[in-house]
Structure 1
Amino acid sequence: MNLKKLQNPLLVVLAFKILFVGLIYQAKAQGISIKDSLQTLLKTDLTGKKRVNTYNLLAKQYQRADSLKVAQFSTKAISLAQHINYPEGICDAYYQLGYNCMVRGYFKNARQFYEKIIPLARQATYHKGLHQAYMGLGIHFNFQGKFPQGMEYFKKSLKVAQKANDLSLIANAQTTLGITHYRLGNTTKALRHCRKALNIHQKLGNKRGVGQNYNNMALIYERQGKYAKALANYQKVLQIFKTLKEEASTGSVLNNLGNIYRIQNNYSAAIKHYQESLKIWQKVGDHRNVALVYTDIGLTYQVQDLFPQAIDYHLKALKISEKIGEKSGMARSYYNIGAIHYRQKDYTLSRKYYLKSLRMFTKTGQKASLIKVYRGIATTYDKGNTPSRDSAEVYFKQAMKTTLEVDNREFLGKIHEDLGIFYRNQQKYALSLAHLQKAIVIHKKQKQAHYLAHAQVSLGNTYYQLKEYPKAKDLLVAGTQLAKKIGATSTASLGYETLALTHQKLGHYEEAYNSHLLFKTMSDSLFNQQNTRKIAQLEARYRFQAEKDSISVVNQREKALLRAEKERHTLLNYLLLAGIMAFLIISILIIRQHRLRLRKNQLIQSQKEALYQANLEKEQIQQTHLRKELELKNQSLMSQALHIQQKNKFLEEVKSALPEFTKESKKEIIPQLKKIKQIIHRGLQSDKDWAKFQHYFEETYPQFYQELAKQFANLSPADFRISALLRLNFNTQEIADILGISYRSANMARYRLRKKLALGTDDNLISFLMQFG
């Protein structure tokens, strides 16, 4: 066939497709990649349009692996297409560039490329190009969480496809409409669109399209909590993509299966599927999806409270995202690391990572992701003091504002409940009631049973605190029954605890007893779950270590195999059979030696770990002993100080009463009263009690006097006494009572001490002394 003689554009495209398919099959037969076959095709005598199409196909092949290659081939396609006046080729190249920008978080650039397609496609009556432009813009808005805007463009793409009467394009538009409804929480409409797309693909015999829509339907079933249906669909999809040998699609399905098993708390199965998915993405060189799988593995360890392993995988994901410049991936990793620090109650560090995530998501414009970040920051402030709680309210409201902007009904209900609980804790009950009632309305409308049950229990708790017990009872009964039905044990336990107290307040003692029994049952169940989780943690730690060792061995083997393969090919061309056998013998010896060395290293590593664990336990026991000893000394020290204070205070009161008594007494007892006054004065000045206090203080803070005297040589014994009492955080009046002096004298002593210590007016004396000892 002489391609140069084909002038009809349709015949040119058909001939190109035949040539391309032939090369692909030949490539598969010879073990060559599609990219290599396309590169080979470029070296042939291609006409202009076929060369443009080949450039665009190469750009598409590199989408998952190399953004620079995508830009390189797309730019070549545009340059040549403009030269030969081929608008269809320009549209396809713009689409590849737009998608390349979008997946890496450059949404503004992506939108510009998609919008360039529209006038070109209309002018050339290129329905596929116009459809792709609308699809790209819709996905562009979906990536940013702007689902209503995305929906409008998908509807436009559907109209274009219907006008062109192209069933394949119609199916693509139905699929994206289904996904968008799914993101908006409307699972019924989502299923309807996906089934329409599925029917079209089945009619066309498009197995790949059939697999994609089974996958989308599985995601919807997962959202609905129908995990058995979701798993069944995923298994169908897996078989389809394995049959088609579509590695990338198989990787996505394996990852989705891992997500299902994680939700069902089957963590070993989840990790297994994630690892299988990871191998595929690493093989095809898709760094973005490698990072996504690392994130999912991190989340699996995170829900098991295995925080070191979780952070390890989140950091791996972060490193890859930084390497490929994917801002949304970096933001996602920052958020997950912040969540781990929150679980560990390090709220300051948690907020630091949440704020990093916030800055990154703000740059990418992904508002749907911003919502959960605002919620996260708000919760870190909510754990603080009153000014911090003011900040918490600001971030909760910002989350609410963003949720309304993107019209995300699922998040809207959660934010209302967050604010309802927040205001209840602040005793702002009117605001609490308003937000919780709105949350219930939204959750009912969205048919979100888990969230509805929790919101009903939360509103019941608010009414209980307001002493409106009949309303509290009705809501708590509804919430606990729903939670029990759907297996939300923690929500049911929380509800039954308050319900028992509510029945008691209403005088329903039998119902109160029954509710308390249910609360205990649920609590025991949660306790058993915690024990099961602890066992799972131990198993997961073992698996994690074994997995790391296994990965190391596999990597070493893969490197050795690749090296051996390369050498084998060389020997096949230049060496005889004797040389091959010699190579094999040497390889076997190397592998055997490597295995012996590996076993030895594993033994040494296990011994090191055992020794480290023993030292760690010993150190913990010593620290516990020292802490208890310090607490005991502190108690003795404070007891002695309070004894001195109470004694001196009592003597001062008696001393101050004697002059009045002397006036009213007979002359013969006045000398005796004066003698008693002198004895009291000597008691106040006695150093015996102070010596005992000094002994306790030096035992508790042995370095205090030495460090203070070393830095300030001009301090007197009285100064040291004042310093010791201030180190224990006694106020001026308490110091006066303990030392048996007046408040004014104690205040003057503090003033003289500040001057000797050279402290400024803004320096805190007690905080300064806390540094010593």
Structure 2
Amino acid sequence: MTNFLVRPAHLLAFLCSFLLILINTAAYAQIENSKQFEKFQLLGQQHPDSALILLKKQHAKAVQDNDNHTAGICLQQMGQICFNQGHYAQALDFYLHADKVFGTDGNKDLLAENLSKMGILYYYNKRSDKSFQLYKKALSLYKITNNKHGQAEIFGAIGHLYEKHHRYDSSFYYQRLALKTYNQIGDNYGQAKIYENLGSIHEDLANYDSSYTCFKHSLEIYRQHHDEVASIEVINNIGDILRKTGKYEQGIQQSRMAFTLSLKNNNLYQLAASCRDLGKGFQLMNRLDSAYHYLELSRKYSLEIYSQESLNQTAFLQVLYDMDKKSNEITRLNNIRKTNQIFTIAVITIVILVIILGLVIFSRQRLKMHDARVLAEQDKSIFEAQRAVMELDLKNKQLQEESLKQQLDLKGQELSAHTLNLIKNNQLLESMRNTLQDMVKDDKRDQKKQMQQIIQQINQSFNHEQHWKEFTTAFEQVHQSFLDKLKQHSSELTSADIRLIALLKVNMDSKDIAGLLGISNDSLRVARYRLRKKLNLEQGDNLSTFIQAL
């Protein structure tokens, strides 16, 4: 009797120990996955194509193991990599798949985090209304789980959104709410970004003292965490504040510090920004040689960024293409495997029926097997035909891209030709007008009236619009996106302003521009000054540089 009572107790203890082992094993596996995903994030910043391939493999394994948690995180991180590379449509597709997985899995924190990332994506796609909706959904989920860190991040994101809409009171409210929440949970690092956001708002409102104080707080926190990359942007912002308040020397010191840190971390974006700020500072101090030197450095780093991004984009697109191709192949193989499984079951069924029912049923089943084999061959033929159509479509798209590139090169040549014709035409007319004016000054009265008529005709030909129309048509075809951005920047530009901007865009010098427009160099300087005012350029900003960068 005693032994009977002891055995259930031992069994209960064994079950409890077994459950504890399972729980600890699951927790350990979750920690290992978390570390692995952190490595994927770091790899995604430096080698996005490699990170995407590894995440795709991890996702396939998670799906095979029915691990929804890991599969959702893989989809989310693949979406983040695509977002960082500017492939917003692909990123949204990954985010939506992750949203479905997290919703099924019931993990509200991960679901809220995913909604927040989609909100940022919609913000970059000029869909602020959709961003607000997603942020509010994420915030409500974080409140349900009492996730203070997540709430603070959403508060900061909403505040940033209000700042971009110039609703500074609402922006201040949410940023301070985020700061308060970070303070409650003791997240010192999270406060750094909020201080940075507050500094940006104060800078927009020209509250430079408050902006400087916020940026200093942010910088101190980043330095405590030894985050040099985040510190660079804040140091650049402090340099801007000092320059805007007339403290040029101190501003240049900050920009030099940012430049040194950018070199150390090989951060091309911040190198270009710090050189640009140094150029502005030296220009305001009238040290034009130094200003030119750093502005040229900024241009050089910008070109390196463009070249590097082009290479990365090409490699990343190849990875996306290979992934799609591999996914299609996997789908095809799975279908074949399922077909083979069905076929095997059918064969076993047929064998059993043959044994039970005899030769008649056996002959019927052989006919069914033949039909199944024909159907499989037809499916294979259809698949091969579809693949051939897809390859043909891909070749057609490549041909279309090459054709568009050739058309763009041709339009560029036409633009150069029209520009050259305009210059030669106006130079010839200018020479003829000067010659005739000299003949008029000789005071030969029998020719004076005739010469004046010729000069009047030449003056009228300066205003002939045919060449200008051809030039304008070619320019619009080559630089359509540039003109769209220009119209968004200012709506007060006249046709004369557009002409001047077009000539500056094609890198013509002042003498040729004055000749083309039929005006003097003094009149050209006045026209450039008026154009700067319409474009709201600050003192020290170069008009030609602004137009080239637009």
TM-score by length of 2: 0.62
Task: Letter of the 2:43 partner, please give it.
Answer: Y
The equivalent residue for 1:326 is 107
Post-superposition shift, 1:548? Answer: 4.2
Tell me the equivalent position of 2:379. 594
* Structure 1 pair 548–495 and aligned structure 2 pair: CA distance change class (3 A): same
Structure-1 residue corresponding to 2:260: 481
What SS does the aligned partner of 1:447 have?
Answer: coil
Contact 1:252 1:277 (8 Å CA) reproduced? no
Q: Secondary structure at the match of 2:338?
A: helix
Task: Give the direction of change, closer, same or farther, for the CA distance of 1:344–1:288 in structure 2 (3 Å limit).
Answer: same
Query: Which of 415, 419, 426 matches 2:205?
Result: 426
Please tell me the residue identity of whatever aligns with 1:286: D
Match of 1:549 in 2: 328
- Are 1:531 and 2:310 counterparts? yes
Contact 2:236 2:255 in 1 (8 A): yes
Match of 1:472 in 2: 251
Matches within 5 A, 1:47-62: 47=8, 49-50=10-11, 53-54=14-15, 57=18
Confirm or deny that 1:446 pairs with 2:225. yes
Matched, 1:263 2:45: yes
Letter of the 1:259 counterpart: Q
Equivalence for 2:528:
none
| CA distance in structure 2 between the partners assigned to 1:351 and 1:501 by the alignment | 37
Structure 2 CA distance for aligned equivalents of residues 529 and 334 of structure 1: 31
Question: What is residue 244 of structure 1 aligned with on the other side?
Answer: none
Q: Does 1:368 align with 2:149?
A: yes
Q: Report the AA paired with residue 556 of structure 1.
A: N
Q: Per the alignment, do residues 324 and 431 of structure 1 end up closer, same or farther by CA in structure 2, a change over 3 Å counting?
A: same
Alignment of 1:398-409 (within 5 A): 398-409=177-188
Matching residue of 1:436: 215
Match of 1:293 in 2: 74
> How far, CA to CA, are the matches of 2:111 and 2:43 in structure 1?
25
Q: 1:326 to 1:468 in 2, by over 3 A?
A: same
**C-alpha separation in 1, matches of 2:393 and 2:114:** 32
Partner of 2:124: 343
Query: How many angstroms does 1:562 deviate by?
Result: 5.0
1:270 is paired with a residue whose SS is helix
2:138 paired residue number: 357
CA distance in 2, matches of 1:572, 1:458: 80
In structure 1, distance between residues paired with 2:68 and 2:290: 58
**Is 1:429–1:462's contact at 8 Å kept on the other side of the alignment?**
yes
Note closer, same or farther for the CA distance 1:552–1:255 as it changes in structure 2 (3 Å cut): farther
Which deviations, in whole Å up to 9, do the C-alpha atoms of 1:660-689 show, x marking residues without a partner? Answer: xxxxxxxxxxxxxxxxxxxxxxxxxxxxxx
Does the Cα contact within 8 Å between 1:255 and 1:277 map onto a contact in 2? no
User: Aligned-pair distance for 1:391?
Assistant: 1.6
1:278/1:293 contact within 8 Å kept: yes
Q: Deviations over 1:38-71 (max 9, x none)?
A: xxxxxxxxx56436755885xx6xxxxxxxxxxx
Counterpart CA distance in 2 for 1:495 and 1:572 is 79
Q: Report what 1:492 is aligned to.
A: 271
**1:547-574 deviations in Å (ceiling 9; x for gaps):** 4423432442453355457668878999
Decide whether the 8 Å contact of 2:159 with 2:171 is kept in 1.
yes
Q: Aligned to 1:518, which of 289, 292, 297?
A: 297
Find 2:189's aligned residue among 385, 405, 410.
410
Seen in structure 2, the aligned counterparts of structure 1 residues 537 and 263 have a Cα distance that, compared at 3 Å, is closer
Deviates more, 1:473-482 or 1:393-402: 393-402
The aligned counterpart of 1:503 is 282
Partner of 1:111: none
Please say if residues 53 and 319 of structure 2, whose CA atoms lie closer than 8 Å, have aligned partners that are also in contact: no
Q: Which residue is 1:753 aligned to?
A: none
CA–CA distance in 2 between the matches of 1:584 and 1:409?
70
CA contact (8 A) 2:49 2:315 kept: no
CA apart distance, 1:401: 1.3
2:237 to 440, 447, 458: 458
Per the alignment, residue 161 of structure 1 pairs with none
Q: Is contact 2:49-2:316 (8 Å) kept?
A: no
CA contact (8 A) 1:254 1:273 kept: no
Q: 1:566 to 1:299 in 2, by over 3 A?
A: farther
Residue 595 of structure 1, CA deviation: 2.6
CA distance in 1 between counterparts of 2:17 and 2:340 reads 34
Shift of 1:463: 0.7
In structure 1, distance between residues paired with 2:35 and 2:334: 24
Change (3 A) 1:561 1:293: farther
Amino acid at match of 2:270: T
Distance 2:245 2:258 in 1: 18
Residues 295, 314 of structure 1: 8 Å contact kept: yes
Structure-to-structure mapping, 1:99-138, within 5 angstroms:
none
Per-residue Cα deviation, 1:639-669 (whole angstroms, up to 9, x for no partner): xxxxxxxxxxxxxxxxxxxxxxxxxxxxxxx
What's the offset of the Cα at 1:349? 1.8
What is the CA-CA distance between 1:481 and the residue it aligns to? 0.7
Please identify the structure whose Cα radius of gyration is greater: 1
Indicate if the aligned counterparts of 1:254 and 1:276 stay in contact, CA closer than 8 A.
no
Residue 593 of structure 1: CA displacement?
3.8
Higher relative contact order (CA 8 A, sep 6+): 2
Paired with 2:214 and 2:136, the residues of 1 have a C-alpha distance of 26
- Measured after TM superposition, the shift of residue 596 of structure 1 is 2.1
Q: Percent identity of the aligned residues?
A: 15
Cα displacement string for residues 617-652 of structure 1 (whole angstroms, at most 9, x for unaligned residues): 99xx9xxxxxxxxxxxxxxxxxxxxxxxxxxxxxxx
Report the 3-state secondary structure (helix = DSSP H, G, I; strand = E; otherwise coil) of the residue aligned with 1:285. coil
TM-fit CA distance, 1:333: 2.1
Using the TM superposition, give the Cα deviation of residue 449 of structure 1 relative to its aligned residue in structure 2, in angstroms.
Answer: 0.7
- Unpaired runs of 5+ in structure 2? 408-550
Equivalent runs, 1:68-87 vs 2, <5 Å: none
Q: Deviations over 1:408-430 (max 9, x none)?
A: 22222121112112211211111
Aligned counterparts of 1:487 and 1:610: Cα–Cα separation in 2: 39
Structure 1 residues without counterparts, runs of 5 or longer:
13-46, 61-91, 97-131, 133-167, 177-208, 217-248, 622-773
Distance 1:549 1:518 in 2: 46
2:160–2:197 Cα contact (<8 Å) kept: no
Question: How far does the alpha carbon of each residue in 1:198-252 deviate from its partner, in whole angstroms, 9 at most, with x for none?
Answer: xxxxxxxxxxx8xx7xx97xxxxxxxxxxxxxxxxxxxxxxxxxxxxxxxx6x77
Task: Note the C-alpha offset of 1:462.
Answer: 0.8
Q: Which amino acid letter does the alignment assign opposite residue 277 of structure 1?
A: Q
**Shift in Å at residue 545 of structure 1?**
3.6
Query: What is the distance in 1 between the residues matched to 2:90 and 2:204?
Result: 34
Q: Deviations over 1:290-348 (max 9, x none)?
A: 11111111112111111111111111111122223221222122112111111212222
Alignment of 1:631-650 (within 5 A): none
Compute the displacement of 1:507 (Å). 4.2
CA distance in 2, matches of 1:452, 1:554: 50
Task: Report how many aligned residue pairs link the two structures.
Answer: 395
Give the distance between the partners of 1:431 and 1:254, measured in 2 at CA: 41
- Is contact 1:443-1:452 (8 Å) kept? yes
Q: Is the 8 A contact 2:240 2:277 kept in 1?
A: yes
Please report the TM-score for the alignment, with normalisation by the length of structure 1. 0.45
Deviations 1:455-502 (A, max 9, x none): 111111111111111211111111111012102221221111111121
User: Match for 1:535: what amino acid?
Assistant: T
